[in-house]
Amino acid sequence: MGESVDLIVVGAGPAGMAAGATALAGGLRVALVDAGTTVGGQFWRPPPEHARTPIPDADPHQGARAHRALRRALAEGRERGRLLLHLAHPVWSVTRDGEGFAVHAVDRSRDGAERAVTLRAPRLLVATGAYDRQLPFPGWELPGVLTAGGLQALLKGGGVAAGSRVVLGGTGPFLLPVATGLAAHGVKVVAVCEAAGPLGWLRHPGPLLRNPAKLAEGVRYGAALARHRIPVHPRTAITAAEGADRVTSVTLAALAPDGSPRPGTERRIEADAVGVGWGFAPQLDLLIPLGCDLVPAPDGNAVAAVDEGQRTSVPGLYAAGEVCGVGGAPLAVAEGHLAAASVLTDIAKATGRPAAPAPAARRLAALRARVRAHRGFARAMALVHPLPPAWGSWLTDRTVVCRCEEVTAGQVLAARTEHGAHDHRQVKQLTRAGMGWCQGRICGPAVHCLAAAPGPYTPAERLIATPVTLGALADLDTDREAADR
Amino acid sequence: MVLKVVIVGAGIIGAACAFHAASAGLDVTVLDRGPVGAGTTSRGEGNVLLSDKEPGPELELARLSRTLWDEAGAELGPETFELQAKGGLVVASTLEGLTALGAFAARQRAAGVRAEPVDEVAEWEPHIAPGLPGGVSYPQDAQVQPVLAAAALLRAAVRHGARLLTGEAAAAVTGRGGRLTGVRTADGRVLPAEAVVNAAGTWGGELGRRLGAPLTVLPRRGFVLVTQPLPRMIRHKVYSADYVANVASSGAGLETSCVVEGTPGGTVLIGASRERVGFDPALDPAVVARLAAGACGLFPFLRDVQLIRAYRGFRPYCPDHLPVIGPDPRAPGVVHACGHEGAGIGLAPATGALVTAQLLGRPWRGADPAGYPALLPDRFLTSGGAPR
């Protein structure tokens, strides 16, 4: 269906936008597909028009200039008819289509019933990003306990603060912008609990010194935290949340080096909203069924294996951004540019016609250097902010691990010790953990740890990448029968 | 002298063989390269069906198996593997289809199956599409959760003294006169055995070759769709009448026939497609669309329900679509128990009992060792022993 394109980009966040811009500049016709209703993804999530309070847009840490330039490039591409923008199009499957790819999405851009659509192109670039990695703890299923990213999204997307007294916990630098963002919005951030120690950077100073922008960013967040009087507790975790209908307090505990709570350090503080984030899990659902090779990343996730031009192991398939390893928006932008440059190079090689204008060798070298520097920083960040090895000691047998199917930690451990389950797939078969609405997207990393599975967390293969109505799929069949007649 | 048996395969068939053989007092070792029930066992709905079977040896085996599932439930606790006697309802979409279904059901009744005509299908399934002319109810049709069932049967086997080993069978070790003395694993171990059971499912052809008893077992790809959890909307296993035609078919391309049912977890399962495409793992959206269309045709409310998951399996089938169960005349000590296609879960207990009877040389739990000649591997061999 539709007009033919040279490249489909799935995901319109920083990586996908950058890829689209470079591909357009190289003269390609591009389709950019995203589940959201605007470009920008989670990171550059614009406030909707009905936002209660406009969010200050002059946030210099967010690469606002790069963002504006990419938006301009994409808008220009649309005007010239070179960019087909498919927003509100969640993709439920990607399949091989001859030498190319077929992207199966549902169109939710119009009111009423969703409609299944298929886009085809000889080359595909997957930039589907990542989502908050969660670890369970007693009470984490209470209303008011959110992911750090969820708090951020409510704030950015709707101007909504999830509470008035917020506690943040987990590990990683992402907790800091969430804290300062909430504080700027008038929310009292009672505590930020960072599981890692404050001096971890001393063991990995190189990447920080080589990335002065990151150092400056850290200093800015430090100043903002001080200005808003937000206490940051290192080597501390939220080990429980309490409340009847919704969260009213959390228990904090100081952590021993292995991540287990130090006995006697527990204390309870009042809170009406909690945000938790243990880094991110890459969204690999479209890549795994295509047979894309994965490699372990330093944060414990399996990620898409790519060469220095962002080519995956599948010919014609490229990947950029968090799916290649969590590393933040500036890295994603560089990878997006680089991936699209590879697409241009590969098309030129295949057709014997150089792309116009060909990506300059100097620009490519600069992009590669940027990717290397950011990757080094991301690696150091992952080493400084690991999952605490003994986080499982926070759980009781009755703590819910899989919220969709209400499977407890006791059941997961029994699957391992009594039935010999060694990974999250076996645990799922035996306990239903990961069989519900979210298909293990939330509990998968935790179950992987609790099953004591060796190696990085590799998500289960999900043939249906996002829920889609049976009616839309059934119409696809009717359409085909009509076309056959 | 206790007979030493190595069972290769820890899927539902291997687990049922181990359960019965260990219960009968044999010395049982189960060998699998992967975890329990990780192959085709984990990729199906868990059907225990009589409704879809023509009168013949497979139906006979299915009737015995249905009884043995109840016995296993009584012994192990029906809830340990979610044994549900929910019953099946086959519905016709046309009057001609209803006549054909009625005739088929009459032959099944003559073979001992409970099959009762239903005039008002809406009384059985309130949310079914209006205007369907009628159907047939099969109260004996049931369901188990296959991985839990395999795990429960193996645990019971272990309680009876069986061992469970991780490893890959590489070859048969034979002694004087070609008699089996053991099974060599890929990492060089030799497991002593006087008999080895080929319960390798879709990989049964390859295992047979390694054991000196090659078989033709081919994969037939199938997809099952899973919806979001719902309140109880569908009470039985509901099939369109064309299911019967497709299961017995040997046509080459895609076949789908609509099977819709609810589960204890609230999800609705939608099957089933059958394709001969080798071990190609790729999802085919056209197959998904066809299954969705069939399900929405039977239950219109499903149009607004979300599909959250699809799973894919490779059903093992023999060229004549019957399982192969019994000793291989070319390789003394090798007993096949594979090729059950889409019926392996249902047929597992009777397969285990039959293999045990054959190993014992006397009846076991209602299975006569000489009772199912049509399922023996001999049917694929010429009188000289060469494959036909």
Model pLDDT for residues B257-292, shown as the tens digit of each residue: 789 999 888 899 998 888 888 888 889 999 999 999
Distances (CA, A) of B114 to B110, B140, B266: 9, 7, 28
Domain CATH number, residue B103: 3.30.9.10
Percent of chain B with pLDDT over 90: 81
Is the pLDDT reported for residue B352 higher than 50?
yes
Tokens, residue A290: 């295509």
- Mode of pairing for the β-strands spanning A407-408 and B268-274: unpaired
Chain B touched by A295 (CB under 8 Å) = no
Indicate the average pLDDT of chain A. 90
To the question of domain A7-131+281-359 being in CATH 3.30.200.20, the answer is no
Examine the domain organization and report whether B57 and B36 are in the same domain. yes
**What is the model's pLDDT at position A264?**
94
| Domain annotation covers residue B160 | yes
ipTM of the complex: 0.90
* Alpha helix positions (H), A205-245: 205-210, 212-227
**What is the model's pLDDT at position A162?**
84
Is the pLDDT reported for residue B388 higher than 90?
no
**What is the model's pLDDT at position A359?**
67
Chain A touched by B307 (CB under 8 Å) = yes
Is the pLDDT reported for residue A16 higher than 50?
yes
Contacts of B295 in chain A (CB under 8 A): 470, 474
- Among the residue ranges A16-30, A69-83, B33-47, B313-327, the one predicted with the least confidence is B33-47
The residue behind tokens 């192109």 is A121
* Contacts (Cβ under 8 Å, ≥6 apart) of A227: none
C-alpha to C-alpha distance for B71 and A346, rounded to whole angstroms: 63
Q: Is residue A260 within 8 Å of A390, Cβ to Cβ?
A: yes
Q: Is residue A6 within 8 Å of A30, Cβ to Cβ?
A: yes
Q: In this predicted model, what pLDDT tens digit does every residue of A381-438 receive, in sequence order?
A: 999 999 999 999 999 999 999 999 999 999 999 999 887 788 898 899 889 899 888 9
Helix (H) or strand (E) holding A158: helix A148-158
| Domain annotation covers residue B385 | no
C-alpha to C-alpha distance for A103 and A118, rounded to whole angstroms: 6
Distances (CA, A) of A262 to A193, A195, A199, A233, A389: 15, 12, 19, 14, 14
Model confidence at A358, pLDDT cuts 50, 70, 90, reads low
Indicate the average pLDDT of chain B. 92
Domain that holds residue B224: 88-139+218-316
**What is the model's pLDDT at position B305?**
97
C-alpha to C-alpha distance for A248 and A165, rounded to whole angstroms: 10
Return the number of other C-beta atoms located less than 10 Å from residue A233's C-beta: 17
Examine the domain organization and report whether B310 and B363 are in the same domain. no
C-alpha to C-alpha distance for A6 and A355, rounded to whole angstroms: 12
Alpha carbon A426 to chain centroid distance?
25
Q: Which of B316, B340, B366 is the last residue of a domain?
A: B316
Is the pLDDT reported for residue A156 higher than 50?
yes
User: Rounded to a whole number, what is the distance in Å from the CA of A97 to chain B's nearest CA?
Assistant: 10
C-alpha to C-alpha distance for A91 and A35, rounded to whole angstroms: 7
Region A352-381: mean pLDDT is 84
Is the pLDDT reported for residue A104 higher than 90?
yes
Identify which of A102, A421, A473 has the shortest CB distance to residue B292. Answer: A473
Domain CATH number, residue B166: 3.50.50.60
Taking alpha carbons only, the member of B294, B313, B315 closest to residue B247 is B315
Examine the domain organization and report whether B66 and B176 are in the same domain. yes
Contacts of B290 in chain A (CB under 8 A): 477
Examine the domain organization and report whether B236 and B266 are in the same domain. yes
**What is the model's pLDDT at position B173?**
95
**What is the model's pLDDT at position A429?**
86
Region B147-153: mean pLDDT is 95
Chain A touched by B253 (CB under 8 Å) = no
- Burial class of residue B305 (count of CB atoms within 10 Å of its CB; 0-12, 13-18, 19+): buried
**What is the model's pLDDT at position A178?**
93
**What is the model's pLDDT at position A41?**
86
Chain B touched by A460 (CB under 8 Å) = no
| Domain annotation covers residue B81 | no
Contacts of B33 in chain A (CB under 8 A): none
| Domain annotation covers residue B83 | no
For residue A45, the SS3 value is: coil
Q: How many domains does chain B have?
A: 2
Examine the domain organization and report whether B31 and B49 are in the same domain. yes
Q: Which of B301, B316, B331 is the last residue of a domain?
A: B316
A453 versus A47: the higher-pLDDT residue is A453
**What is the model's pLDDT at position A2?**
56
Identify which of A289, A291, A429 has the shortest CB distance to residue B42. Answer: A429
Q: A470–B228: do the CB atoms touch at under 8 Å?
A: no
Nearest chain B alpha carbon to A429: B147
Is the pLDDT reported for residue A1 higher than 60?
no
Q: A463–B310: do the CB atoms touch at under 8 Å?
A: yes
Contacts of A96 in chain B (CB under 8 A): 282
Examine the domain organization and report whether B61 and B150 are in the same domain. yes
**What is the model's pLDDT at position B66?**
97
C-alpha to C-alpha distance for A445 and A288, rounded to whole angstroms: 16
C-alpha to C-alpha distance for A25 and A67, rounded to whole angstroms: 16
Helix (H) or strand (E) holding B134: strand B134-138
| Domain annotation covers residue B387 | no
Is the pLDDT reported for residue B85 higher than 50?
yes
Examine the domain organization and report whether B211 and B326 are in the same domain. yes
Domain ranges of chain A: 7-131+281-359, 134-278
Chain A touched by B240 (CB under 8 Å) = no
Q: B307–A469: do the CB atoms touch at under 8 Å?
A: yes
Is the pLDDT reported for residue A462 higher than 90?
yes
Q: Which of B260, B288, B316 is the last residue of a domain?
A: B316
HSE (CB half, 13 Å, CA atoms) of B8?
33
Examine the domain organization and report whether B259 and B154 are in the same domain. no
| Domain annotation covers residue B272 | yes
Region B195-222: mean pLDDT is 96
Model confidence at B358, pLDDT cuts 50, 70, 90, reads very high
Examine the domain organization and report whether B117 and B150 are in the same domain. no
Q: Is residue B16 within 8 Å of B357, Cβ to Cβ?
A: no
Interface list for B 160-179 with A (CB within 8 A): 164
Return the number of other C-beta atoms located less than 10 Å from residue A357's C-beta: 10
Please report, in angstroms and rounded to a whole number, the separation of the first and last CA atoms in chain A: 17
Percent of chain A with pLDDT over 90: 71
Nearest chain A alpha carbon to B41: A429
Q: B308–A430: do the CB atoms touch at under 8 Å?
A: no
* Alpha helix positions (H), A286-388: 329-351, 361-384
Examine the domain organization and report whether B60 and B92 are in the same domain. no
Region A259-284: mean pLDDT is 96
Supply the DSSP symbol for B373.
G
Q: A463–B286: do the CB atoms touch at under 8 Å?
A: no
Alpha carbon B268 to chain centroid distance?
20
Q: pTM value?
A: 0.91
Examine the domain organization and report whether B302 and B286 are in the same domain. yes
| Domain annotation covers residue B365 | yes
| Domain annotation covers residue B327 | yes
Decide if A7-131+281-359 and A134-278 have a common fold. yes
Tokens, residue A151: 């708090």
Q: In this predicted model, what pLDDT tens digit does every residue of A273-304 receive, in sequence order?
A: 999 999 999 999 999 999 999 999 999 999 99
Model confidence at A63, pLDDT cuts 50, 70, 90, reads confident
Examine the domain organization and report whether B230 and B376 are in the same domain. no
Is the pLDDT reported for residue A259 higher than 60?
yes
Interface test with B, best of A404, A473, A484 (most B CBs within 10 A): A473
Nearest chain A alpha carbon to B266: A436
Contacts of A116 in chain B (CB under 8 A): 289
To the question of domain A134-278 being in CATH 3.40.50.150, the answer is no
Alpha carbon A476 to chain centroid distance?
30
Is the pLDDT reported for residue B32 higher than 60?
yes
Q: Is residue A276 within 8 Å of A282, Cβ to Cβ?
A: no
Chain A touched by B147 (CB under 8 Å) = yes
* Amino acid present at A166: V
**What is the model's pLDDT at position A322?**
97
**What is the model's pLDDT at position A53?**
44
HSE (CB half, 13 Å, CA atoms) of B52?
28
C-alpha to C-alpha distance for B212 and B377, rounded to whole angstroms: 13
